[in-house]
Chain A
Amino acid sequence: MKGRRLSLFLLLIMVSLLATGCWSRKELPDIAIILAAGVDRTPEGNVTLTLQIVKPSAASGGGGAGEPGKEQATVMVVSQTGKTVADAQQGLATRLSRKLHWPHCLVFIVGEAAARDGLRDITNYFSRSAEPRQTMWIAVTPGQALDIINSHSEIENTSAQAIAQMSLQNSGLHMEYHDFMYDLSSGESNPVAPRIEIIRQGTPQGPGGAKGEAAHNEAVFTGTAVFRGDRLVGWLDEKDTMGLEWLRGELEKGIFTVPSPSAPGKYLSFSILKSTTKVEPEFVDGKVGFHVIIMTDVDLIEQQDTADVTQPEILEAVQKTAADEIERYARDALFKMQVLYRTDGCHFGEHFHQKYKQKWKVMEKDWNGFFADAGADIHATVAVRHSGILGKQANLRESR
């Protein structure tokens, strides 16, 4: 009986502990949800942190409270300068009525000045704190990150959601924060990140559009930012980005257009189904070399010439032309990485390390130099898997 009474007593104490609620609770009305964060560097060397924060009343859907046709802004943007990211955030926190809430941050934008100065100072906060998710998208802008965070999207509720959607769905090179950090930390590679810019785009229709707010600006991806170590050294355009993705073996989707082999002035367009890249490093007489083999499966999605692609020899010529074009893409990108920027953003160091473990230990420090002076031959093969619903044989599998 005594034990029973004691356990009852203990149980009562436990219940009273539970009834007080939690210490670290985060109630929705107490937090300001961050959707996007941007970091810039001021000329004085300080850090400017810009945050896109959800406006609670607008996000909960006011139920037609606003005037018809005039949309309510769903987010607000705040900005603050400090010595470190945390310092700037503290400056913001003291001016907001709510506690900043990081875990739902979708995108992380870095301004050019900050990226050229070196990212390590900035990323430390985002890696050290357990709050921001490592899966947020990272992008670099040739300008101020502030402007990107400040932009709005006509289709999505917020520009942050638009950027996240584009990163998830669209072709092009997109980086999650932790993948970027891996490239930055591994010593085998240099990171790359997508380039994001404000571009005048589209004409919104309807009452708002008709009143003269015609063309407006949106943040869109326009290529790649190339780093050496943690410093931004230059940019690649969209074409070279595709070449870089082929070199890295990360190309999942995209469309490319090649001149027709049979009719001058006409073009063929292909959609990429699948692509694999094999990199075979070699080390002869103190010189590094790479054999790159790219194997790509494509759909023929548009054909301006009239050749019958169901004929094996014509298909052969088409595939050869496409393969030549892929080689040109990859060679152009590699040329820029080797000659213009002298930085290995192609993961070639990873392949080299795996094959030459002992030599790597000596070469690791000067790897970018070895990479820049390395010879490389690129060989691409293309297999046209489908040619749409035109032509006698829709499926050309057997004529490969």
Chain B
Amino acid sequence: MTEHGKITAGQLTLLITNTVLASAILFAPSAIVKHAGTDAWLSLLIATLAGGMLALLAIHLCKLFPGATIFEFPELLLGKVLGKATAILYIWWNLHICAEVIHEFSFLMMTAFMPETPILVFHLIMTAIAAYAVWHGLEVLARVAQLFVPFILISTLFLFVLAIPQMHMAHLFPIFDTDPLSILKGSAVPLSWFGEIMAFTAVLPFLNNRAESSTRSVLFGIFLVFLFFLITVVGVVALLGPVITAANLLPLLTGARLIHISTFVERVDPVLVIVIVLGGFLKISLFYWVAAFGSGQIAGLRDYRPIVVPVGFFLFVLSMSLHESPADLLDFLGTIWPVYAIGIFEAGIPVVLLAVGIYRAARGRGDSQ
């Protein structure tokens, strides 16, 4: 299986940051605030701590079998049939996320910016561009991340600084007003986004100096995500207030549209569009690469490139047929997705794999003595 690319620790951090943030900052604020109200930041903190643990879980899994991806080591742990089945499940999961993100991205572009354009166009163009990036491999993706992610982060920060005159700090209070259960419920949604780090079990083996830097760069990525997620949630609530944030489908966009400093800095939402398009493209490409590369590994191909285009067609069709309406999309993201993603792919299976791995390692040591 050929993927000769190597990525650096810094590139890994940026990839992780973008992968979680790209769609989370668009759709998560409304879902978190719906449950946790003004205590959304608390939900986010809980989700970050839990997300950090999921990241450590992913790192430990990769350390059990240095150099092997999530599509290879289940077979070594669980035997041929169960292992292959697990790997196939993971390919499905990556395809599913990828299709969801294409769908979210297209929905946003159509609703907010180009209402008359057929939604098919966005699905098609985004998949096609991502396919081109995936064709060139992980290293190219990582370098693109190095180029774009700092721009994305700085622009986001810039937008919120411009929005400060429109913010009302009173909207953020009172704190600790929501009951603990609702705060926990609110943390499930961002946690399902943090859990997407599990996809990096296919990326970590390509880190150039795996041993020393993986933990540090992954955790630094999580920290960056937390920082920008927090800025987004707090900023949006300060701009719109909790009630409107929860009711709005795209609170970040509505917030960005409020920006005006006197009459000379206004209508800056095109900056947000650039951020969304770049971030969405990178996120889609990464999951697309994982799915295509994983399929190649399972099938024992020498090169994954021949299946990039077929996978692309599959993604296109899947993303077109996922949700019938925005209500369906948001309901799915807020209620079904956290259970499905965290329960099975982000925590469930990895915990079982790690448990089996540790048990085997312990027994192996016992045998050799």
Let me know if B340 is at the binding interface, CB within 8 A: no
Let me know if B244 is at the binding interface, CB within 8 A: yes
Q: Which residues of A contact B114 (CB under 8 A)?
A: 22-24
- Is there an interface contact between B170 and A347, defined as CB atoms closer than 8 Å? yes
Let me know if B173 is at the binding interface, CB within 8 A: yes
Say which residue of A10, A130, A176, A355 sits within 8 Å of B111 (CB atoms).
A130
Let me know if B368 is at the binding interface, CB within 8 A: no
Distance to closest chain A CB from B236 (angstroms): 12
Distance to closest chain B CB from A173 (angstroms): 16
Distance to closest chain B CB from A86 (angstroms): 14
Q: Contacts A24-B116, A24-B117: A186 and B174 contacting too (C-beta < 8 A)?
A: no
Which of A103, A178, A354 is most buried by chain B, counting CB atoms within 10 A of its CB?
A178
Contact-residue size bin, chain B (C-beta under 8 Å from the other chain) = 20 to 34
Q: Which residues of A contact B118 (CB under 8 A)?
A: 23
- Is there an interface contact between B240 and A178, defined as CB atoms closer than 8 Å? yes
Let me know if A134 is at the binding interface, CB within 8 A: yes
Q: How far is the CA of A353 from the CA of B242 in the complex (A)?
A: 14
Query: In residues 228-286 of chain B, which contact A (Cβ within 8 Å)?
Result: 240-244, 247, 253-254, 257-258, 260, 262-263, 266-267
Q: Which residues of B contact A187 (CB under 8 A)?
A: 243
Q: Contacts A135-B260, A182-B241: A357 and B112 contacting too (C-beta < 8 A)?
A: no
Let me know if A320 is at the binding interface, CB within 8 A: no
- Is there an interface contact between B258 and A134, defined as CB atoms closer than 8 Å? yes
Chain A interface (Cβ < 8 Å from any Cβ of B):
7, 10, 14, 17, 22-24, 103, 130, 133-135, 168, 176, 178, 181-182, 185-187, 347, 350, 353-355, 357
Q: Which residues of A contact B254 (CB under 8 A)?
A: 134
Q: How far is the CA of A98 from the CA of B247 in the complex (A)?
A: 33
Q: Which residues of A contact B176 (CB under 8 A)?
A: 357
Q: How far is the CA of A24 from the CA of B273 in the complex (A)?
A: 15
Q: Is chain A's interface secondary structure helix, strand, loop, or mixed overall?
A: helix
Q: List 16 additional A-B contacts (Cβ < 8 Å) besides A134-B257, A181-B244, A182-B243.
A: A10-B128, A10-B132, A22-B114, A23-B114, A23-B121, A24-B116, A130-B115, A130-B253, A135-B260, A135-B266, A182-B240, A185-B243, A186-B242, A186-B243, A187-B243, A357-B177
- Is there an interface contact between B257 and A23, defined as CB atoms closer than 8 Å? no
Q: How far is the CA of A353 from the CA of B178 in the complex (A)?
A: 12
- Is there an interface contact between B263 and A24, defined as CB atoms closer than 8 Å? no
Query: In residues 145-174 of chain B, which contact A (Cβ within 8 Å)?
Result: 168, 170-171, 173-174
Q: Contacts A23-B116, A182-B240: A354 and B174 contacting too (C-beta < 8 A)?
A: yes
**A-B contact number at CB 8 A:** 61
Q: How far is the CA of A135 from the CA of B259 in the complex (A)?
A: 8
Let me know if B113 is at the binding interface, CB within 8 A: yes
Using CB atoms, name the residue of chain A closest to B266. A135
Q: How far is the CA of A270 from the CA of B54 in the complex (A)?
A: 62
Distance to closest chain B CB from A127 (angstroms): 8
The 7 A-B pairs of least Cβ separation, nearest first, read A23-B117, A24-B114, A354-B174, A185-B243, A24-B116, A182-B241, A354-B173
Which of A14, A130, A357 is most buried by chain B, counting CB atoms within 10 A of its CB?
A130
Q: Which residues of A contact B263 (CB under 8 A)?
A: 168
Q: How far is the CA of A22 from the CA of B168 in the complex (A)?
A: 38
Q: Contacts A22-B117, A181-B244: A135 and B257 contacting too (C-beta < 8 A)?
A: yes
Which of B112, B117, B174, B253 is most buried by chain A, counting CB atoms within 10 A of its CB?
B174
14 contacts between A and B (CB under 8 A): A10-B128, A17-B125, A22-B117, A24-B115, A103-B267, A130-B112, A134-B254, A134-B258, A135-B266, A168-B262, A176-B258, A182-B243, A187-B243, A353-B177
Q: Which residues of A contact B247 (CB under 8 A)?
A: 185
Q: How far is the CA of A168 from the CA of B244 in the complex (A)?
A: 24
Q: Which residues of B contact A357 (CB under 8 A)?
A: 174, 176-177
Q: How far is the CA of A197 from the CA of B160 in the complex (A)?
A: 37
Using CB atoms, name the residue of chain A closest to B253. A130
Provide the B128-140 mask, 1 if CB < 8 A to any CB of A, else 0: 1000100000000
Q: How far is the CA of A10 from the CA of B115 in the complex (A)?
A: 27
Q: How far is the CA of A302 from the CA of B128 in the complex (A)?
A: 71
Q: Which residues of A contact B260 (CB under 8 A)?
A: 135
Q: How far is the CA of A357 from the CA of B176 in the complex (A)?
A: 9
- Is there an interface contact between B241 and A186, defined as CB atoms closer than 8 Å? yes
Using CB atoms, name the residue of chain B closest to A131. B115
- Is there an interface contact between A182 and B171, defined as CB atoms closer than 8 Å? yes
Q: Which residues of A contact B116 (CB under 8 A)?
A: 23-24
Q: Which residues of B contact A354 (CB under 8 A)?
A: 173-174
Say which residue of B117, B244, B253 sits within 8 Å of A182 (CB atoms).
B244
Query: In residues 288-302 of chain B, which contact A (Cβ within 8 Å)?
Result: none
- Is there an interface contact between B170 and A350, defined as CB atoms closer than 8 Å? yes
Q: How far is the CA of A278 from the CA of B170 in the complex (A)?
A: 13
Q: How far is the CA of A182 from the CA of B238 in the complex (A)?
A: 11
Q: Which residues of A contact B174 (CB under 8 A)?
A: 353-355, 357
Distance to closest chain A CB from B260 (angstroms): 6
Q: How far is the CA of A273 from the CA of B125 in the complex (A)?
A: 55
Q: Which residues of B contact A134 (CB under 8 A)?
A: 254, 257-258
Q: Which residues of B contact A14 (CB under 8 A)?
A: 128
Distance to closest chain B CB from A85 (angstroms): 18
Q: Which residues of A contact B121 (CB under 8 A)?
A: 23
Q: Which residues of A contact B257 (CB under 8 A)?
A: 133-135
Distance to closest chain B CB from A337 (angstroms): 19
Query: In residues 40-89 of chain B, which contact A (Cβ within 8 Å)?
Result: none
Distance to closest chain B CB from A184 (angstroms): 9
Distance to closest chain B CB from A47 (angstroms): 22
Q: How far is the CA of A299 from the CA of B232 in the complex (A)?
A: 40
Q: How far is the CA of A384 from the CA of B260 in the complex (A)?
A: 33
Which of A181, A182, A353 is most buried by chain B, counting CB atoms within 10 A of its CB?
A182
Distance to closest chain B CB from A248 (angstroms): 11
Q: How far is the CA of A22 from the CA of B176 in the complex (A)?
A: 48
Q: How far is the CA of A135 from the CA of B257 in the complex (A)?
A: 8
Q: Which residues of A contact B111 (CB under 8 A)?
A: 130
Q: Which residues of A contact B132 (CB under 8 A)?
A: 7, 10
Distance to closest chain A CB from B201 (angstroms): 29
Distance to closest chain A CB from B20 (angstroms): 26
Distance to closest chain B CB from A99 (angstroms): 10
Distance to closest chain B CB from A26 (angstroms): 10
Q: How far is the CA of A355 from the CA of B170 in the complex (A)?
A: 12
Distance to closest chain B CB from A93 (angstroms): 14
Distance to closest chain A CB from B348 (angstroms): 37
Q: Which residues of B contact A7 (CB under 8 A)?
A: 132
Using CB atoms, name the residue of chain B closest to A164. B263
- Is there an interface contact between A185 and B241, defined as CB atoms closer than 8 Å? yes
Provide the B174-188 mask, 1 if CB < 8 A to any CB of A, else 0: 101100000000000
Q: How far is the CA of A29 from the CA of B55 in the complex (A)?
A: 54
